[in-house]
A and B are shown apart, each in its own frame.
Chain A
Amino acid sequence: MTDGRYMYCIINNDTPSNLGNIGINDAEVYTIPYQNIAAVVHSCEPKPYETKDNKKAKEWILAHGYVIDHATKNFGTVLPFSFNAIIRGGDSIVKNWLAGNHDKFKGELERVKNMAEYSVQVFYEHEKLAEKIEANDKELGELKAKMGIMPKGTAYLVQKQYEQKVKDAISVKISKLTKELGSRIIEHAEEMRIDEKTSHMPEKYKDKKLILAVACLVHKNKVETLGKVLDCINGNDDFAVRFTGPWAPFSFVKLREV
């Protein structure tokens, strides 16, 4: 008995279509339209997908992502669902549910039309930044010079003071940089959100520190300019930029709970 519908996304389209066996566990994915919007679903048991098998879990995640990408390619920007959003009931229940939320969905779809989510992460090298600060700060320089001619005990205390000052200077510098970088990036985005949770990073960023992690909702005409801005930041010795996308607007769907 399959009286559940696994939800992938909501699209701007009014024609029933079959997207093929591209879903989770090769499920047949199809659309359930209501007026000018449709839900992209597969028919499933009315229970969540759960597994302790990592390989399977990965496949499911990738399949969900693939369906969203596929739908985006065919129907334009979609409203993506979180993993395991399953509606209890059949096509007619989904249709009723779409009807009840139609205006909200349509409004959201219009809002994100021709846009996609991009993620920008800016890294810096802590050591390099610390060295720079030490080299350029007059007060720190004087303090360091004094330490050389002090009695050992006093020098120890001053050393502690010195370290604290470097630490403070770094955090002031970073918060200044974060704001600067953020405002340069947001110029080219419709919206921006701070990514609080950041998953593990590719190997090449391992020894660097994250200074800024944001998700940006960017119009397709502005992606190139955003890329150029990021080039400028990336070209600076002190920073490395990771720019990923396009993604469906996961971070920008305002309806969270529907």
Chain B
Amino acid sequence: MKPVRESDLVDLLDRLLNKGLVLNADVIISVAGVPLIGINLKAAIAGIETMLDYGMMEPWDKKTREWYSVEFAKRAAVPMIKK
């Protein structure tokens, strides 16, 4: 069978919001030391696609920071099967 690129948005979302390179806090845009990674955008999309397992979050607060560190921990913890 041939690979397809159907429902691109859904597949792209998974990748663009959960995967790919991210910048560290030295260079990423931040406000008062809080790195941002499009919290509102995630929430906006999660609302319609109901696919992301984060709840709605208020940006800029302590929770955001915690979420950010958890997110990194999760990324780092993705199991890898080596050949």
Contact = CB atoms under 8 A, between A and B. Distances in A.
A177 interface: no
Interface of A: 4, 7, 10, 46-54, 57-58, 60-62, 64-65, 79-89, 93, 97, 118-119, 182, 186, 189-200, 202, 214, 223, 227, 230-231, 234, 241, 243-248, 250-251, 253, 255-258
Contacts of B70: none
B12 to A, nearest CB: 4
A62 B9 contact: yes
Contact of B40 (A51, A80, A191): A51
B62 interface: no
Given A54-B45, A243-B3, A197 B29 contact: no
B41 A84 contact: yes
B11 to A, nearest CB: 6
Contacts of B36: 47-48, 50, 84
Contacts, number: 184
A197 B50 contact: no
Where chain B touches its partner, the secondary structure class is mixed
A57 B41 contact: yes
A61 B39 CA distance: 14
Interface residues on B, range: 35 or more
Contacts of B24: 257-258
A255 B22 CA distance: 8
Interface of B: 1-24, 27-31, 36-41, 43-45, 47-53, 59, 72, 75-76, 78-83
Which of A10, A79, A214, A258 has the most chain B CB atoms inside 10 A of its CB?
A: A258
B1 A83 contact: no
Contacts of A250: 15-16, 19-20
B41 to A, nearest CB: 5
Nearest to B38: A84
A47 B35 CA distance: 10
A50 B39 contact: yes
Contacts of A51: 40-41, 44
Those 7 A-B pairs whose CB atoms lie nearest each other, nearest first: A82-B20, A250-B19, A250-B15, A84-B38, A50-B40, A199-B51, A83-B16
Contacts of A196: 78-79
A224 B43 CA distance: 38
Contact of A49 (B13, B38, B51, B52): B38
A64 B8 CA distance: 12
Nearest to B17: A83
